[in-house]
Amino acid sequence: MGRDRTWRALAPSEKVHAGKETYIGYAVHATGRLHLDALGTAYDAVCRAYPQLTARIDAGDNGPLFVASDARPDIHACDSGLEHPLAGVELNQHQALSALNVVRDGDATSVCLLTHHSIADAQHSLEILAAVLSCYTDVVRGVPIDLPRRPFPRSLEDLLAERGIGRVVPDDGQTPQQLAVPDQPAVRERDAPARHVVQHRMTAAQTSALVDLGHREHVTINGLLAGVLLLVEAEIRDLPLTELVYRSTANLRSHLTPPVGATEGTNVLGGMGFTATGDIAPDAVTIGRAVSARLRAGLADGSIQRSLLDLLSRPAPDPKPWDPSTAPAVVSMMNWGLVPPMRTPDDLRLTNFHSASSIREITTMGGYVVNTFDSRIGIDLAWPEDDAELPTRVDCLRDRLDHVTLRR
């Protein structure tokens, strides 16, 4: 492969993230000894195996392009607090679409993989982070690394079209109005801000209690958490549930035929929206059942699979419930699911996991990111750091979860 070879043009679902220069971080906390040279060797091997990590975004005649690069992203390391996993890192999508940032705080360390959202979603990125740590373990133990080279991931549009899934055409047969998607990424004028994240990680006992409740009440954990978050936001905002729009994404990989592998696509996601009706009791279980029913129905009729296509090219008079412009009070939850097992050497122990992000977008709207790590559910609150209600929101979340997990 020659230098500056073009991989392909960005699809509309990828251009959106280039316009905002969105990087998502996946950070593990560890105690013990971290060998930076060995980590660099491991990351280099993973970058050779996954070409999207060393790609960059460049301007083409008809829009932005993914361009290959022979350069390997450097690992940045600094001393800071672990609550700032992006401390010191410099991100520029015109140079590299991934980065590995190491933050040291005494005997504790944060290792954060950053991937540009145009090349990878959560499951994709977690697979790569697990590969980095696995290769790191082999390097430390003196085991040779031999990762197979993977193809550049495909867009959601391409994967859906291959399976016969396309956007909905209006009844009048008119061409849907295109949602404004920038033809070229914005010129870099200032550093994108890292979003402030506060985490509430449930104990293993609380997580187990939530799972048991879900089994007894025949409601998913995702639904229960949606119910809790809606109750929290209704209380904090002093609004009735019926005025809140719940928005989330669904990983489509296992809902497509044939299924899609973790790193085969860039963002293999669908969106769903939910608004509680007046007959739904303000109870996490009841709300959770309704949210789960909406998700099942959307996957069954294909509307969730088509959701992003419809959003990016929708008829103007037909707004979608998962479009954030349709309501002023949006509650957003992204559930990354189970963090996969990650190998480490004997002298390095993983203790926590949480999200991070850097987005060139001025917004006061916060959101929740959920994951399950080491048998414990973690809920990240990504909110403006100066939000006066953030401490109250965290306390309210803790109280609501305590109430649900103590339910008999």
* pTM metric for this prediction: 0.91
pLDDT digits (tens, 9 = 90+) for 38-56: 999 999 999 999 999 999 9
pLDDT digits (tens, 9 = 90+) for 126-146: 999 999 999 999 999 999 999
Q: What is the DSSP string of 309-351?
A: HHHHT--TT---TT-GGG-SSEEEEEEEEEPPP----TTEEEE
Calculate the alpha carbon distances from 20 to 6, 58, 213, 368, 379 in Å: 22, 15, 39, 19, 24
Opening angle at CA 176, ends 174 and 178, nearest 5: 145
Opening angle at CA 225, ends 224 and 227, nearest 5: 65
pLDDT of residue 408: 53
Q: How far is 370 from 368, CA to CA, in rounded Å?
A: 7
pLDDT digits (tens, 9 = 90+) for 249-295: 999 999 999 999 999 999 999 999 999 999 999 999 999 999 999 99
3-state helix, strand, coil in the chain (%, to 5): 35, 25, 40
Return the sign of the alpha-carbon dihedral for residues 233, 330, 360, 115: positive
Domain chopping of the chain, boundaries: 197-340+368-405
pLDDT digits (tens, 9 = 90+) for 157-211: 999 999 999 876 655 554 444 444 555 555 454 455 677 899 999 999 999 999 9
Q: What is the DSSP string of 192-229?
A: PPBPPEEEEE--HHHHHHHHHHHHHHT--HHHHHHHHH
User: Bigger pLDDT: 321 or 112?
Assistant: 112
pLDDT of residue 178: 45
Question: What's the average model confidence in pLDDT over 220-226?
Answer: 97
Q: Which CATH code, of 3.30.559.30, 3.30.365.10, 3.30.930.10, 3.40.50.1370, is assigned to 197-340+368-405? A: 3.30.559.30
Question: What's the average model confidence in pLDDT over 339-367?
Answer: 89
With the CA atoms of 312, 314, 317 and 321 taken in that order, what torsion angle do they form, in degrees rounded to the nearest 10? -60
Confidence of residue 387 (pLDDT cuts 50, 70, 90): confident
